Amino acid sequence: MIFLENFFDNIKDFFFPKICIISDKKLSRENSNDFVDDKLLSGIPRLTPDDLLELREKVKADFFNSYLPFRSESPAQVLIHYLKYRGFSRIGSFLGKYYGGEYVKTFTKLERYDIICPVPLFKTKVRERGYNQSEFICSGLNSILGISQINNLIIRTRHTKSQTHLKYFERLSNVKDAFKINDTFKCKISGKSILLVDDVVTTGATMNEVIKVLRNEDIKEISAFTIASAR
């Protein structure tokens, strides 16, 4: 039986090899995931303490953490591109769990979190893409935290342009008043501590607009988590 299993695994591996999306090299069977080499992932440069200090001044959360520098053609850029535009939604779950494992090692007061939720997309964007990538990151992270996850706690009330090529004040204007609390959950968040999750933060305009909406409620504490940060 073991011989047959190995035989069919070899056939599958030959005709349908798993390829690292960053290096384009074949992944070993022992690799923990189907899209990026474990050794390559562990060696990706991280945000420096100075980077994080600068970001924590931008993001108006009580606590904020991020991991990878998001630059053109960087490993983080490739991972997020596949997550958002190539249909690799599972990358979100994997990255959320992977960096969630690091998160719990560096930030031990996890009992403070009551609710975890993703930054929302507008409904037309969800239909176009098929999913909200931040929900998958959120689910992966929450597989470590094990707290209440409310994917539609925040509602995006209107379509907004992509923030990618907008200047700072254009970004602020673009997302101004674009979010609201889902009335269904208002009674459930009073006095709670919330962890907000997104894929990438740049100026903090989107994240801060969501945080502003949450601050209008009787929220105890708001923290934020992203996989990567751009400048």
Give the domains, in start order, of the chain with CATH numbers: 1-43 (no CATH), 46-230 (3.40.50.2020)
Spatial separation of the C-alpha atoms in residues 15 and 32, rounded to whole Å:
20
Give residue 72's identity as a one-letter amino acid code.
S
pLDDT score of 172: 78
pLDDT band at 8; cut points 50, 70, 90: very low
pLDDT score of 107: 66
Which range (19-23, 63-67, 160-164) has the least confidence? 160-164
Q: Is the pLDDT of residue 67 over 80?
A: yes
Q: What are the two backbone dihedrals, phi and then psi, of residue 2, each rounded to the nearest 5 degrees?
A: -60, -40
Spatial separation of the C-alpha atoms in residues 128 and 130, rounded to whole Å:
6
Asked if 124 and 159 count as a contact pair (C-beta separation under 8 A), the reply is: yes
pLDDT score of 29: 87
